[in-house]
Chains A and B, each alone.
Chain A
Amino acid sequence: MHEIENALTGLAVPPRAAQGDDASVATLIDLQVLARLGEFDPDGRQGLVRRVLQTYESSLGRQLQDLLQARARGDVQQLGRIAHTLKSSSAAVGATTLAQGCAAIEQSARQEGGAPDGAELDAVLAHAHAVRRAVAAMLDA
């Protein structure tokens, strides 16, 4: 866990003792994934993890808006494409659950004549907002 701390230097990550209390961050973002990312920038000089999270946060915000618009238009294809992109970037930063939700939407969007289930979509959107908040909080430190 020591490596994780190193990698996440400068980020508002709950201290180890408090992790169990702040269950929301731990369930939203797999910190181990972020820690592994940090290995590419061992001494943190490039601020890689921070830059990745910043990029993720801003693109996530954009994509959430795009998702809402596509949904309003009933543009299933666009919905699928956005889900595809969001899926891989979410997986890359450790938002594993969100990535799985995106994969499901992408899958149903790609099926002939199919459309993502409304409730399912709502859940993913809500989760995405939570992830975004968590990331923003981490960056706010």
Chain B
Amino acid sequence: MSASVPLFSPDEQAHEPARVLLADDDPVTLMIAAAALRERGFVVREAESGQAALDALADGLPDVILLDAMMPGVDGFETCRALRALPGGEHVPVLMLTGLDDDASIARAYEAGATDFFVKTQQWTQQWSLLDGRLRYLLRAARTRQELERSKSKLARAQDLARMGSFEWRRQGGLVLSPEALRVFGLPSRERLSMHGLLRMVPAEDRSVLVRMLRSTLEHGAVLTTDIPITPSWYSGDHVVHVEAEPEFNDLGQMIGYTGVIQDVTDRRVAEDKIRHLANFDALTGLPNRRQLLWRAERALKMARRLGHQCALLLIDLDRFKNINDTLGHQSGDELLTEVARRLRRCVRHSDQVLEAVYEGHGMGVRSHRSLEAVGRLGGDEFVALLPEVGDEHDAERVAQRMLEVMREPIVVAGQECFVTASVGVAIYPRDGDGVADLMRNADVAMYSVKATGRNASALYGPQLAGRGREKLELETALHKALEREELVLHYQPKIDVRGARMTGVEALMRWQRGGRLVPPGEFIPLAEETGLIVPISEWALAEAARQARSWQKGFGFAESIAVNLPSRLFERGDLVDFIHRVVTEEGVPHRVIMLEITEDNLMQELQSVIPALHRLNEIGVEIAIDDFGTGYSSLSYLTTLPISELKIDRSFVRELGISPQSSAVITAVIALARSLGLRVVAEGVETLRQMEVLHRLGVSVMQGYLFSRPVPAAELELWLEQSLHGRKMPWISAGVAEDEGGRARVLVGRG
């Protein structure tokens, strides 16, 4: 088997001697001719009759056959005819040897399928170079033909693989398709397909366009290059066939037809469409993505600049989406986003497909930029609406209002009704920016201003919002994303009752892990308060504290409270109590694990509106502590009316202990007041043993500060308990204070 595999290139094969089958009934001629041809390098097989030649063919086909025309029995003509009927025999060159002036034989030779004839002159047996030349010519022609056949079949195979085929169309004679081309249409190779039959495969809506295009191509004798959608009944699904054809002309320059190739490009088309779609549309909602939307916005601005109208960019950000995601899971979050996307696109004349002519800027009429109008998803819970033409800002505001309205209906995900609101910022071209980037930034600023003032509203960008520095804006943007990206963490600082070396609770302090740096609260809390971000951030802190309490409870029996700092504006919200109730219930921890700290300043500013919330919180078991006590209003009478449990003496008094006599006076007064009201007192910022001893002498036993522990990540707190309290190794314990009560140290936290 392996020997039959052609390992040689055609050139190498050409060096192999050619095999000649020679048939002549005259033994003398046969012998001489054979000797002559052998001498010239041919491999010769002799046959003394037509029958002998046919017998020899059964052993294999030679490269060329020399047949004496006149032979008794089976003559040369008959032999030739029989050869042509053999498989593979149709391509072997046959040289018929005929007598001089024997025209009849020559004609018969061609009829019988001979390739050529050679006249046996009187001297032919002495003129071998003539015959030799003729034979070599025949062999070369045969080889060329064979190569052509081979390359033709290779082409056919390649076309088949590429789902490609060729065709011809003649003004006279119509359409002729190669078998491969027929296969492209799913037709058997002997089928005929007329132009009408082909057009019938094209969906009706595309047919007239195609016919018009073909007519115009024919009229101009132009090159034809097009993709044709076909839906033949014998195929499943839509197919796309690519056609490329060139016109052919006669000597008079008249177009006589077309020659070309067709190819099934369905897969390519599908892939191309998919890629284009993936690149330009959001996979979840199907809306245009950031890239597509910015592209549209650029075009819309170009048109607006040219035609002198205004356009609007609306930035839509869902309120508290993170909560939904956290509560219901990401899958439900995705469902919700999909529904929001569906509702938002109803609010504009959303176009999924942009007509090519729009960005080419011709042909489609002056209002063609309207097809750029769309809602897109920028990512996360941020959406953008592009209004390519608005009469004034009220047009844009109306759309923003519509968007807020469509969100009012509850969205059902995972069997639950969710209420979603959004904050919408609006920027108008050219008033609020000349380019897409400016407009996006200003829409963003407007949107944040909505967030800051309570959400669920829309706002137009205005210069009053622009006063903020870029740096602050960046910080603000980053902070906005910090929650989503889970960059915020809580660190915990223990509150210690030094009498028993006992931890009475912890205070949760927020940290922002921003790009490898831990941002202290002083740097971002004021900004968070200013922008309103403090609200979601505080909510997150409450939920996180509840979760941590649960985790510690399981870990080492934690049963104290975690104090969370809240701004007064949060107390104003009616749903704070519900919110806390929900987060502790979800974690399965008692309400008292959450303690709220509010600064004295904060509390005093909003006293009246905060009081009801404080009462309700107290009722469900959530204790309130006044932070930074002593720095605010000196009048302490209000304390009597407030449902509070703890006073935290401001660190400034602790720092001044032993330096300024006033500070110990304040502390003494606070303690007296607290005792009379039945409140606990906690000293903050205790850093030295000296401070601890003084405070203790003054009557404060619960303290907090670097002396005991700096604020640490949750995981480290347990370790600290193990080493400091249980191990009793800390200097402040051996300082003797802890032994005061009953002469015996007690560790009440944890397993002890």
Q: Which A residues contact B (CB, under 8 angstroms)?
A: 33, 36-37, 39-41, 46, 48, 51-52, 55-56, 59, 81, 84-85, 87-89, 91-93, 99-100, 103
Query: Across the interface, do A91 and B99 meet the contact criterion of CB distance under 8 Å?
Result: no
Query: Across the interface, do A92 and B35 meet the contact criterion of CB distance under 8 Å?
Result: no
B18-55 CB contacts (< 8 Å) to partner A: 25-29, 31-32, 35-36, 38-39
* CA of A91 to CA of B99, assembled, Å: 14
**Which among A33, A41, A89, A103 is the interface contact of B26 at CB below 8 angstroms?**
A89
Query: Across the interface, do B36 and A91 meet the contact criterion of CB distance under 8 Å?
Result: no
* CA of A88 to CA of B69, assembled, Å: 13
Q: Is B637 an interface residue (CB 8 A)?
A: no
B52-77 CB contacts (< 8 Å) to partner A: 70, 72
Closest to A42 in B: B39
**Which among B39, B72, B125 is the interface contact of A92 at CB below 8 angstroms?**
B125
Known: A84-B99, A103-B122. A40 touches B28 (CB 8 A): no
Query: Across the interface, do A59 and B26 meet the contact criterion of CB distance under 8 Å?
Result: yes
Closest to A99 in B: B122
Query: Across the interface, do A48 and B29 meet the contact criterion of CB distance under 8 Å?
Result: no
B-side contacts of A88, CB under 8 Å: 26, 28-29, 120, 124-125
Query: Across the interface, do A40 and B35 meet the contact criterion of CB distance under 8 Å?
Result: yes
B-side contacts of A41, CB under 8 Å: 35
B586-613 CB contacts (< 8 Å) to partner A: none
Candidate in B32, B38, B99, B124 with the most chain A CB atoms within 10 angstroms? B32
Query: Across the interface, do B31 and A91 meet the contact criterion of CB distance under 8 Å?
Result: no
B370-420 CB contacts (< 8 Å) to partner A: none
Q: Is B123 an interface residue (CB 8 A)?
A: yes
* CA of A101 to CA of B28, assembled, Å: 18
* 5 nearest A-B residue pairs (beta carbon): A89-B28, A40-B35, A92-B125, A40-B39, A56-B28
* CA of A46 to CA of B72, assembled, Å: 29
CB proximity of A96 to chain B, nearest CB, Å: 8
Query: Across the interface, do B122 and A51 meet the contact criterion of CB distance under 8 Å?
Result: no
Q: Is B585 an interface residue (CB 8 A)?
A: no
Closest to B30 in A: A55
* CA of A89 to CA of B38, assembled, Å: 19
Candidate in B27, B35, B39 with the most chain A CB atoms within 10 angstroms? B35
B121-165 CB contacts (< 8 Å) to partner A: 122-126
Query: Across the interface, do B122 and A55 meet the contact criterion of CB distance under 8 Å?
Result: no
CB proximity of B118 to chain A, nearest CB, Å: 13
A-side contacts of B122, CB under 8 Å: 87, 91, 99-100, 103
Q: Which B residues contact A (CB, under 8 angstroms)?
A: 25-29, 31-32, 35-36, 38-39, 70, 72, 99, 120, 122-126
A-side contacts of B27, CB under 8 Å: 55, 59, 89
Known pairs A81-B70, A81-B72; list 9 more (Cβ under 8 Å).
Answer: A36-B126, A48-B35, A55-B27, A55-B31, A84-B99, A88-B124, A88-B125, A92-B29, A103-B122
* CA of A87 to CA of B125, assembled, Å: 12
CB proximity of B243 to chain A, nearest CB, Å: 61
Query: Across the interface, do B28 and A93 meet the contact criterion of CB distance under 8 Å?
Result: yes
* CA of A85 to CA of B68, assembled, Å: 11
Query: What are 18 of the A-B contact pairs (CB < 8 Å)?
Result: A33-B126, A37-B35, A40-B39, A41-B35, A52-B32, A55-B27, A55-B31, A59-B27, A59-B28, A84-B70, A84-B99, A85-B26, A89-B27, A91-B123, A91-B125, A92-B29, A93-B28, A103-B122
CB proximity of A53 to chain B, nearest CB, Å: 9
* CA of A69 to CA of B26, assembled, Å: 19
Closest to A89 in B: B28
B-side contacts of A92, CB under 8 Å: 28-29, 32, 125
B-side contacts of A99, CB under 8 Å: 122
Candidate in B26, B27, B99, B124 with the most chain A CB atoms within 10 angstroms? B26
Known: A33-B126, A91-B122, A92-B125. A85 touches B31 (CB 8 A): no
* CA of A99 to CA of B99, assembled, Å: 14
A-side contacts of B70, CB under 8 Å: 81, 84
* CA of A59 to CA of B26, assembled, Å: 9
CB proximity of A64 to chain B, nearest CB, Å: 14
* CA of A40 to CA of B38, assembled, Å: 8
* CA of A93 to CA of B123, assembled, Å: 11
* CA of A103 to CA of B36, assembled, Å: 24
Candidate in A39, A55, A103 with the most chain B CB atoms within 10 angstroms? A55
B-side contacts of A100, CB under 8 Å: 122
Closest to A63 in B: B26
* CA of A33 to CA of B36, assembled, Å: 13
Query: Across the interface, do A52 and B28 meet the contact criterion of CB distance under 8 Å?
Result: yes
A-side contacts of B72, CB under 8 Å: 81
A-side contacts of B123, CB under 8 Å: 91
B-side contacts of A52, CB under 8 Å: 28, 31-32
Closest to A103 in B: B122
Query: Across the interface, do A40 and B26 meet the contact criterion of CB distance under 8 Å?
Result: no
CB proximity of A32 to chain B, nearest CB, Å: 9
B-side contacts of A84, CB under 8 Å: 70, 99
A-side contacts of B99, CB under 8 Å: 84
* CA of A41 to CA of B32, assembled, Å: 11
CB proximity of A95 to chain B, nearest CB, Å: 10
Candidate in A37, A56, A85 with the most chain B CB atoms within 10 angstroms? A85
B-side contacts of A91, CB under 8 Å: 122-123, 125
**Which among B31, B39, B124, B125 is the interface contact of A39 at CB below 8 angstroms?**
B39
CB proximity of A105 to chain B, nearest CB, Å: 14
CB proximity of A110 to chain B, nearest CB, Å: 9
* CA of A55 to CA of B32, assembled, Å: 11
B-side contacts of A87, CB under 8 Å: 122
CB proximity of B21 to chain A, nearest CB, Å: 19
Query: Across the interface, do B125 and A40 meet the contact criterion of CB distance under 8 Å?
Result: no
* CA of A59 to CA of B28, assembled, Å: 8
A-side contacts of B38, CB under 8 Å: 40
CB proximity of A28 to chain B, nearest CB, Å: 16
**Which among B28, B39, B120, B124 is the interface contact of A55 at CB below 8 angstroms?**
B28
Closest to B125 in A: A92
CB proximity of B67 to chain A, nearest CB, Å: 15
A-side contacts of B29, CB under 8 Å: 88-89, 92
B-side contacts of A33, CB under 8 Å: 126
A-side contacts of B26, CB under 8 Å: 59, 85, 88-89
Closest to A90 in B: B28
* CA of A59 to CA of B48, assembled, Å: 13
Closest to A60 in B: B28
A-side contacts of B32, CB under 8 Å: 37, 40, 52, 92
CB proximity of B37 to chain A, nearest CB, Å: 9
A-side contacts of B36, CB under 8 Å: 40
CB proximity of B554 to chain A, nearest CB, Å: 109
**Which among A36, A51, A81 is the interface contact of B31 at CB below 8 angstroms?**
A51
CB proximity of B36 to chain A, nearest CB, Å: 6
* CA of A99 to CA of B29, assembled, Å: 13
* CA of A9 to CA of B357, assembled, Å: 96
CB proximity of A42 to chain B, nearest CB, Å: 9
Candidate in B27, B28, B35, B122 with the most chain A CB atoms within 10 angstroms? B28
A-side contacts of B31, CB under 8 Å: 48, 51-52, 55
Candidate in A48, A87, A91 with the most chain B CB atoms within 10 angstroms? A91
CB proximity of B101 to chain A, nearest CB, Å: 10
A-side contacts of B126, CB under 8 Å: 33, 36
Candidate in A40, A46, A81 with the most chain B CB atoms within 10 angstroms? A40
